[in-house]
Amino acid sequence: MAEIIERFICIPSTVAVVGASPKEDRSVFSIMSYLHEAGFHLHPINPGYAGESIQGYTCLASLDDLPEPVDVVALFISAEHQEGVVQSLRRLPYKPIVWFQPGSENADQERALAAAGYPVAVNSCMMMIHQVYCH
């Protein structure tokens, strides 16, 4: 985990934010704001808001629509909504870090992705990790 923090959190990276929302009362909105201000390049992903602007970024319907490789796929969706996302993730020609944000934990997917060679981060929030380790 220390290498992931050093290379992709303390040095702002490109992040697909799965479950992005324009609703200011959602934690994902606050975390996106923080990451944007910290210099991260974000790709909001949410089929319900595809084509709309979320914090100045055009929201995409799925990981299949990413215009560039991302370093991190941050999941802000519950376990029961992850299957299609994981299928899209596995179609990518590279293996980004899969970050299960608090509330998105899914032990079965975490194990399966790790076994398939994906770096997996769990039990921590990207924003909190950045605040604690990168200042």
Q: What's the pLDDT tens digit per position in 11-37?
A: 999 999 999 999 999 999 999 999 999
Question: What is the chain's mean pLDDT, rounded?
Answer: 96
pLDDT of residue 1: 81
The dotted CATH code for 2-133 is 3.40.50.720
pLDDT of residue 2: 86
pTM of the model: 0.96
Question: What single DSSP character describes residue 99?
Answer: E
- Burial grade of 23 (CB within 10 A; 0-12, 13-18, 19 or more): exposed
| Residue corresponding to tokens 């999941």 | 75
Give residue limits of the domains in the chain.
2-133
Would the pLDDT of 123 be above 90? no
Helix (H, G, I), strand (E, B) or coil at 100: strand
CB atoms within 10 A of CB 41: 14
